[in-house]
Amino acid sequence: MAEKVLMKGNEAIAEAAIAAGCRHYFGYPITPQTEIAAYMAKRMPKIGGVFLQAESEVSAVNMVIGAASAGVRVMTSSSSPGISLKSEGLSYMAGCDLPALIVNVQRGGPGLGGIQPSQSDYFQATRGGGHGDYHMLVLAPNSVQEMAQLTIQGFALAEKYRMPCMLLADGTMGQMMEPVELPDSAPEMAEKPWALTGTGLSRKHNIINSLSLTPDELERWNIDRYARYAKVEADEVMYEEYLTEDADVCVVGYGIAARVARNAVNAARAKGIKAGMFRPITLWPFPKAALNKLATTCRAFISVELSMGQLIEDVELAIRCSRPVTLCNRTGGMIPSPEQVLASIEEAAAKLN
Amino acid sequence: MTKNILIAGFGGQGVLFTGKFIAYGALIEGKELSWLPSYGPEMRGGTCNCSVIVSDEPVGSPIVNEPDVLIAMNRPSLDKFEDAVVPGGDIYIDSSLVDREVRRTDVNVHYIPATRLSTERGFDGIANMILLGSVIKGSGVIKEETIPAAMSKVVSAKRQNLFDFNIRALALGAEVLE
């Protein structure tokens, strides 16, 4: 690891992608993630990489499909409305079993929405976004350091499982600066015998395709893909627990919401309330087993989110509704304050007595 | 110890740069820190603010709702954030641009005529650095000896004249703080 530098979250993603060996970026500008594209535009030509601003999001995502098919490490980035436009491509990528990193620095929605931070694309990200039976890996950083780390891990996981990986951040995470240590080595590239690299007439040509007009074949593809997803769910779950060991009330949140929740948990502890925090880092696969285990000791849960109640559904599913789960949220570009979260913790704790 | 700092003013006054200087100072001193700008359809002349947190502990929420230190570079910023400052906190004001006094009596107020000093003493365009000099001296958020290293992070070594120019503005700010 090198010396700590100060960077915006968006810049850290771009620099980490380059450190990870990504040399192909295709995108289209949109607030609040444009720094990623700007950074790539400056750096890629100097290191022999490709930066290409496409004429639209749809075009950019199809360029990603092309590059991923050729076996290179490739990424795109956008914010909520732009991700909706790219969702067709995400479904095709999943259907073709192609690895790529897709960054979503979320802003308020629906529609054109606003440009302030939001987490309202949770359902879209964790349920796939596009059509068909599929999942993406979804990673949720809560610091600039994690923006960098998870970018690098995202490429590696995408290649290991041949599936698209989404880094799900928000406007605050993208715009804030924190100290970050960038790694000095790239993860090893997975073997890609399936890639369209030219046969040199030495082997049978590869085909990358998501179309099958034979139902039993298409069903088999889906079943095979879900067998791979089961392996991801078994092996790749990531989460963080904070003061949960003796907690009566557990706040669940990811990204910026977890940062706010951490302050509230500290404030609650100072008041003598046994509060803790559970932070999913992988939103898909969701850390179901760990959260369900926590529900054996913790008696109430609070979902803190910048959306109208999306994460809360996964919390309820994970703990099989065995404990009360309440919602503490803001939306439209607003962020809950630590005081608001503390009030929710106090309310939940009061009901336990 | 944690210091929550809110810097507010018009776009173009150096609000984000001022925050960045403090952030680099904290980085050099090995502290935990966060720097978060307001972003949006802001433009030169519009309002702009920046949250900076410097701490010995990992920083939780990067949003400063209740500042220990408010740096108000214009009247709308003082109007908007005066009530948010924690009791016993500090308000540093560019008194050349703010035509009223602070109403609260439970905070420490420092009136620095930064913009007037910047024109009188040959520091055109960097009134923010004069104000920052007062803040560093008064709050101790970063150490005085960290200033040159922090400056070298924000001003390129190739522009030595700007380096000295900014250092002298900071010194003037420290000097005028009562």
- ipTM of predicted complex: 0.94
CATH code for the structural domain at A5-194+210-235: 3.40.50.970
Tell me whether the CATH fold assigned to A5-194+210-235 matches the one assigned to A242-352: yes
Regions of chain B with pLDDT less than 50: none
pLDDT of residue B138: 97
Q: Do B23 and A175 touch (CB under 8 A)?
A: no
Minimal-distance CA residue of chain A relative to B57: A263
**Is there a contact between A264 and A341 (Cβ–Cβ < 8 Å)?**
yes
**Residue A334 contacts B, CB cutoff 8 Å:** no
Closest-CA distance of chain A to residue B100, Å: 30
Of B24, B33, B153, the CB nearest to A178: B33
CATH class, A242-352 region = alpha beta
Residues of the domain holding B46: 2-176
H-state helical runs in chain A: 9-19, 34-43, 57-69, 80-95, 122-126, 144-161, 171-175, 215-235, 255-270, 288-294, 311-318, 338-352
At A31-84, the pLDDT tens digits run 999 999 999 999 999 999 999 999 999 999 999 999 999 999 999 999 999 999
pLDDT average, residue stretch A102-111: 97
DSSP letters, A120-153, are TTHHHHHT-SSSSS---EEE---SHHHHHHHHHH
**Residue A2 contacts B, CB cutoff 8 Å:** no
Dist. CA A148–CA A154, nearest whole Å = 10
Task: Tell me the whole-structure pTM to 2 decimals.
Answer: 0.96
**Is there a contact between A295 and A301 (Cβ–Cβ < 8 Å)?**
yes
Q: Of A283, A256, A267, which is closest to residue A178 (Cα–Cα)?
A: A256
pLDDT of residue B78: 96
Residues of B in contact with A113 (CB under 8 A): none
Q: How confident is the model at residue A187 (pLDDT cuts 50, 70, 90)?
A: confident
At B108-160, the pLDDT tens digits run 999 999 999 999 999 999 999 999 999 999 999 999 999 999 999 999 878 88
In chain A, where the domains are located: 5-194+210-235, 242-352
Q: Do B39 and A175 touch (CB under 8 A)?
A: yes
At A191-211, the pLDDT tens digits run 999 999 998 888 899 999 999
H-state helical runs in A184-249: 215-235
How many structural domains comprise chain B?
1
Supply the CATH number for residue B118's domain: 3.40.920.10
pLDDT of residue A189: 86
Indicate the pairing of strand A137-139 with strand A164-170: parallel
